[in-house]
Structure 1
Amino acid sequence: MANQTAIRRKLRTRRKVRVAAAERPRLSVFRSSKHIYAQIIDDTTGTTLAAASSSALKTGTKSDTAAAVGRALAEAAVAKGVKQVVFDRGQYRYHGRVKALADAAREGGLDF
Structure 2
Amino acid sequence: MSVNKVERRVRIKKSIRNKISGTSERPRLSVFRSNRAIYAQIIDDTTGKTLVAASSVKLDDASKVNTETSNKVGKEIAAKALELGISQVVFDRSGYLYHGKVKSLAEGAREAGLKF
TM-score scaled to structure 1, two decimals? 0.91
- 1:4 deviates by 2.5
SS of residue matched to 1:51: strand
- Answer with 82-91 or 42-51: which moved more: 42-51
Q: CA deviation at 1:85?
A: 0.3
Give the letter for the 1:11 counterpart. Answer: K
Distance 1:63 1:39 in 2: 18
Give 5+ residue unaligned stretches, structure 2.
none
Structure 1 unaligned spans of 5+: none
Spell out, residue by residue over 1:58-101, the C-alpha distance to the aligned partner (whole angstroms, 9 max, x if none). 27651111000000000000000000000000010000000000
Amino acid at match of 1:38: A
User: In angstroms, what is the RMSD of aligned CA positions?
Assistant: 1.5
State the number of aligned residues.
Answer: 110
Could you state the TM-score of these two structures normalised by the residue count of structure 2? 0.88
Runs of 4+ in 1 over 3 A off after TM superposition: none
Q: Aligned with 1:100: secondary structure? A: helix
> What secondary structure, in the 3-state scheme, does the structure 2 residue paired with 1:84 have?
coil
Secondary structure of the corresponding residue to residue 55 of structure 1: helix
Determine which of 9, 27, 30 is the counterpart of 2:29: 27
Which SS does the other structure have where 2:43 is aligned?
strand
